[in-house]
């Protein structure tokens, strides 16, 4: 059978959402039916609330069309739209509830599109470019405080000018400022890098125009991306934010959570610098991570 179940739908403005929802009566997947019914309910309520005009509707359709046309293999403008509307963070927060001391998660972002190279404990991830030298140490524990050995800690970050390697093809090696580090028997990891800089999200498309039209800047505060995976643990995708960065209170994608803002401490001690394999002074981030066992 084709067409909606029940008597033919005649449109009535007052019952518009209900009439459309009835057309989903034969949806085989109950979850799909639930999501579509709620979506139509909210959409119709929105149109009525703001009294959407045909011109505004057409403008909205043009905006969404351009958002789709801006997508390609490396650019996902729809995800960016979801990011600047706070939807990505909300979906992520619902999927990864806080509690039991678990490290909070944040969005992955579009710059994890190349696999980070495997590196040895203590290695530097800097293959090109200058910046403030930085030592990162940390420990992966489960919610009972038991070390997670053999986990993979994948890190990626922007450089001192606010660019990822993939934004500078031909200028810097593809693996610049990326690496996967194993945790040892005590759950510890350690590497050398530079302090990342804040940067603007891609703002030369429809999402950038939306930000400009609403008086918003496109910047994200300085951060290091961290993804922890391993057998028997739930994958954690998060960031560490640099506590003296601008834009911590106005991240364009709403990714900042209070407990992820950390001091990158200035260490002016030649002996500790020599031990870390860095010049003095250097900055030091210690980032303990708590994950859930599956
Ligand atoms: C990022 O942190 O890499 C990012 C996240 C969301 C949108 C753009 C960039
Ligand atoms: Fe980022």
**C-beta 111 within 6 A of ligand 1:** yes
Q: Considering 225, 239, 283, 292, which one is annotated as catalytic?
A: 225
> In this structure, are residues 262 and 285 in contact, taking their beta carbons and an 8 Å threshold?
yes
The minimum-distance atom of ligand 1 relative to the CA of 164 is: 3
Residue 242 phi/psi, 5° resolution?
A: -80, 120
Please tell me the residue having the least CA distance from ligand 1 atom 5.
Answer: 109
Q: Is the CB of 107 under 6 A from ligand 1?
A: yes
- Which numeric CATH code is attached to 98-202+218-291? 2.60.130.10
Taking only the tens place, the pLDDT of each residue in 168-217 is: 999 999 899 999 999 999 999 999 999 999 999 999 999 999 999 999 99
Cβ–ligand 1 distance for 201 under 6 Å, the answer: yes
Which one of the listed residues 119, 197, 220, 239 is annotated catalytic?
220
**Whole-angstrom distance, CA of residue 57 vs CA of residue 54:** 5
pLDDT digit string (tens) for 74-97? 899 999 999 999 999 999 999 998
User: For a pocket test of ligand 1, which of 111, 156, 166, 241 has the largest count of ligand atoms closer than 8 A to its C-beta?
Assistant: 111
Whole-structure pTM value: 0.94
Pocket test for ligand 1, best of 74, 114, 156, 201 (most atoms within 8 A of CB): 201
Is 199 noted as a catalytic residue in this protein?
yes
pLDDT band at 140 (very low <50, low <70, confident <90, very high): very high
Q: How far apart are CA 98 and CA 238, in angstroms?
A: 13
What is the predicted pLDDT for the residue at 5? 61
- Dist. CA 234–CA 231, nearest whole Å: 8
What average pLDDT does range 143-160 have in this prediction? 97
pLDDT at 123 over 60: yes
Report the pLDDT value the prediction gives residue 73, as an integer from 0 to 100.
87
Contact 281, 270 (CB under 8 A): no
What are the structure tokens assigned to 267, written together?
Answer: 């260490």
Is residue 110 within 6 Å of ligand 1 at its C-beta? yes
């Amino acid at each position: 059978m084709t067409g909606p179940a029940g008597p033919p739908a005649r449109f009535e403005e007052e019952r518009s959402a209900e009439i459309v929802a009835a057309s989903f009566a034969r949806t085989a997947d109950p979850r799909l039916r639930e999501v579509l019914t709620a979506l139509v309910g909210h959409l119709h309520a929105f149109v009525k609330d703001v009294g959407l005009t045909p011109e505004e509707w057409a403008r909205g359709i043009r905006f969404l069309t351009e958002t789709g046309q801006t997508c390609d293999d490396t650019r996902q403008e729809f995800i960016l739209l979801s990011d600047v509307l706070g939807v990505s963070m909300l979906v992520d927060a619902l999927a990864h509830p806080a509690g039991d001391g678990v490290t909070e998660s944040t969005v992955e972002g579009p710059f994890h599109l190349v696999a980070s190279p495997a590196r040895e404990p203590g290695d530097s991830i800097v293959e090109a470019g200058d910046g403030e030298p930085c030592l990162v140490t940390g420990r992966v524990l489960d919610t009972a405080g038991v070390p997670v050995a053999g986990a993979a800690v994948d890190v990626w970050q922007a450089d001192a000018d606010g660019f990822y390697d993939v934004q500078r093809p031909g200028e810097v090696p593809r693996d610049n400022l990326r690496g996967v580090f194993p945790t040892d028997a005590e759950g510890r990891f350690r590497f050398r890098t530079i302090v990342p800089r804040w940067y603007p999200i891609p703002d030369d498309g429809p999402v950038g125009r939306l930000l400009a039209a609403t008086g918003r800047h496109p910047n994200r505060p300085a951060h290091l991306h961290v993804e922890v995976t391993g057998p028997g643990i739930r994958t954690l995708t998060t960031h560490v934010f640099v506590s003296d960065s601008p834009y911590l209170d106005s991240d364009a994608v709403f990714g900042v959570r209070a407990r992820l803002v950390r001091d990158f401490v200035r260490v002016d001690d030649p002996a500790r610098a020599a031990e870390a394999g860095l010049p003095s002074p250097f900055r030091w981030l210690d980032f303990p991570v708590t994950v859930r066992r599956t």
